[in-house]
Structure formats: C-alpha cells, structure tokens
Amino acid sequence: MANTISPKTNKIINVVISLGAAVVILGALTKLINLPGADWLLVAGLTTEAVIFVIYAFLPPPDMHTPSAGVGSGATDAVVAGMEAAKLDEAAFKKLSTSFEKLNDTAMHLGDLAEMAKSSKEFTNNTKDAAIALGTVKDSVASVANNLGSFASASDGVKNLNEQFVTMTKTMEAMNNYYGKLSEASNAMSSSAADAVRAKEQIALLADNLTKLNQIYSNMLNAMQGRQ
C-alpha cells in the first residue's frame, strides 16, 4: 500500500462514509417514529459505519503535498516571464551594484575636505553612471512588481518576493531625489567651505540610502538564485 492516498481516493472514501452515516440517521429516524423495518435499517447503517471506520483506521493519511493547479506554478512562471520581459536579470543588478560601489568609494574620499576638489569630477561622473543604471533597473523592477501584484493568492515565497520588489522600487524613487542635490553639490564643492559642508551632508544621506538599497539588492539576488 502506498504511503499516502491521493485526493481523489480520499474524496471517494469521504463519500462512502457520508452515505453510511446517512443510513444510520435514516435508521434512527424510522426507529423514533416506529416505521416498519426500522430495526434492520438501523443495524445495516451502524454495521456499515463500523466497517468503514475499521478500514479507515488502516488507511494512510491523504497526500497533502500535492500543489493546487495553477497557483504556485502559475505565479512562479509569471515571475520568470515578467523578469524576462522587463530584461531584469542578474547582470542588470550586478551593473547597478558596480555603479554603487564606485560611487560609494568616491563618496568616502569626499569625506576628507582636502580631497573634495580632486574627487569632485570623478564623483559627478559616477553619480551620473549610477543614476542611469538606477533608472533602468527601477523601470524593470516596477514592471515586475506590477505583474506580481496580480497574484495576491500565491505562495508566501512569491508574496515575499513581491514585497521586496515594491520596497526596492520605493527606495529607488527616494534616491532619485538625492541625485539632483548631489550633482549640484559636487559642481559647487570647490566654491566655499559652506558648499563643502552641504556636500558632506548630501553624501551622508546617500550613504544611508545606499546601505538600505544594497541590503534589498542582496535579498533580490538570493531570491533570483533560489528560483534557478
């Protein structure tokens, strides 16, 4: 005998048990109102139930691991198709990560006021590169997030992946506001000490957002590698 029974077999067993219980109830009813044949009907029903319960005690548990058709697999296929349609793959995330690493290294150098004038041009270039990469990935992430939004009843894994996409999109939108301020600050860093202080403040804000985005990016890579 197999370790588990299929959902179809389990349904048949439940139907048989229900029919047996119906016979018992009819037998009890006929007994209460003193109809002819009530005793035999009640005996037949109780005997049927007893036999069913004995057999049911030795049956393996139903197979609870069979996935529902079109739920988990459909949502997973939609994730893959959405990412492919949006051209959102590991290479895109790595390109974005490289831009962030360059920008972060330059920002660290800019922490020293003596190095600001020397690094301002490099910082501006890296800021533009990161902004371009961020815009590309942001649009792709938003596209995939919209596709995942239609699978509200999917598995917890897909729901968590959708939440990561939404969080990443919001973080990217917030960071876009800082790029404009950083560009202005980097162009004026050599003008005065006040500009230098303002640049350092913007760099601190950027560093905080980079930390958050890199954490989300790491989770996204792990999720992508897990589905392969």
21-47 residue pLDDT tens? 787 788 788 878 888 877 887 788 788
Tell which residue, 42, 40, 49, has the closest CA to residue 28: 42
- In this model, does residue 68 exceed pLDDT 50? no
Tens of pLDDT, residues 131-159 = 666 666 666 566 656 555 555 445 555 56
Q: Which residue reads 């392969």 in tokens?
A: 228
* CB of 59 closer than 8 Å to CB of 13: yes
Distance CA 71, CA 75 (A): 6
How much is the pTM? 0.28
* Torsions phi, psi for 5 (to 5 deg): -110, 150
Tell which residue, 187, 153, 194, 158, has the closest CA to residue 68: 153
β-sheet bridge partners, residue 5? 62
Distance CA 157, CA 122 (A): 41
Query: Dihedral angle at the C-alpha atoms of 45, 46, 47, 53, nearest 10 degrees?
Result: 110
